[in-house]
Chains A and B, each alone.
Chain A
Amino acid sequence: MASSTLSWPRLNQTQRRNITGYLFITPWLLGLLTFTLVPIAVVFVLGFTRYGVLDTPEWVGLRNYVRIFTDDRYFRISLVNTLYYVAISVPLHVIIGFLLALGLNAKIRGITIYRTLFYVPSIVPQVAGVLLFVWLFQPQIGLFNFLLDLVGVRGPNWLGRPEWAKPAIIIMSLWGVGGGMIIFLAGLQSIPEHLYEAAKIDGANNWNQFWTVTVPMMTPTIFFNLVMGLINSFQVFTTAYVATNGGPMNSTLFYMLYLYTTGFQDFKMGYASALAWILFFLVLVLTVLVFKSSASWVYYESGGEG
């Protein structure tokens, strides 16, 4: 034990560091409390109430949840629609984004122009993009059906038919695949060249190199895009709200659309809170599962930093 005269300045420095540190992060801490932690607690409680904004919340116990799971057609429809959307669009985004990045990683002339052409659609404002696609999908004079006509296919009434509306919304989202593609490209470019050289010395051809070097080294990036894709697709809203408003015949009634309608058009805040909590729980469980599974397929280099 050092004498108090010696240890005091030391302690002071640590304390001072702590105080400065917490002062610096105060804005975020306050934000975390008011915009995240308290809301999560509140939404949980509100889920057990009947609450119409103007009146006071009335405690109804588990009634909201019982109704959601036993007697709510729209909950089931929106959940199935959302699972359909997630199950198809997330893998497509990962696969197409990865393949494009592979192609765009080649050292050929004019490659930056190609990269730009694939990336730019992903920065087009979403609502503007949706209006554009509503026009492209127009059944009689839309460009897509004209292009299909050129190859002898009669294009469907994309957004007007229940069986085509969801694929149309997925195609819309795939136009923005450039965002994920750029992340894959950054991942590809961070693979050290010497790994490929070592593989070549071992006699690996391009195909072998792809499976023994590229894919393992890219698993962290695939994992990242997969997780973010899952979380975002579960909350798909703007495309369907603007393009079809849930129709035709509820075929694009996604979970967030149903939640929005319940909370902000029917003003059933208690019921909508229960819906929000279910979505949160679902996404949480799936994210945890993907994280758990990552141990068996995501390859991290030893000595990981940051």
Chain B
Amino acid sequence: MNRALVEQFAALHVAGDTAGIAALLAPSAVMQTTLSALDATGAREVEELLATTLQLWGDRHETVVAVLADAESGGVESTVRGTTAAGALTEVGVVTALGLADGQITSIRVYCDTTPFRA
């Protein structure tokens, strides 16, 4: 069941569908990302933070490399190619680690290099 949940998350993230992801979140979900100094607490804040990080890109093409899931956790490893909002062409590797419980996502932690976004 968790694998299907993580695969759904991955597909929605590739599509940039933050509203769709919000539907997968536990009400008390939390999010941290290297792309923002601010953390999010609660599904609404998580959805907003996801949208904020996606807006760092002018155009964005995400390719999922691997999807992992076990009884409590999941993860998505992907490569994002595109243009930053500042106009720089770039490619970054991203891992999104997920906490899972009761068929919902309870935590999201995004690990990626922010060098292309600091120009």
Q: Do A and B assemble together?
A: no
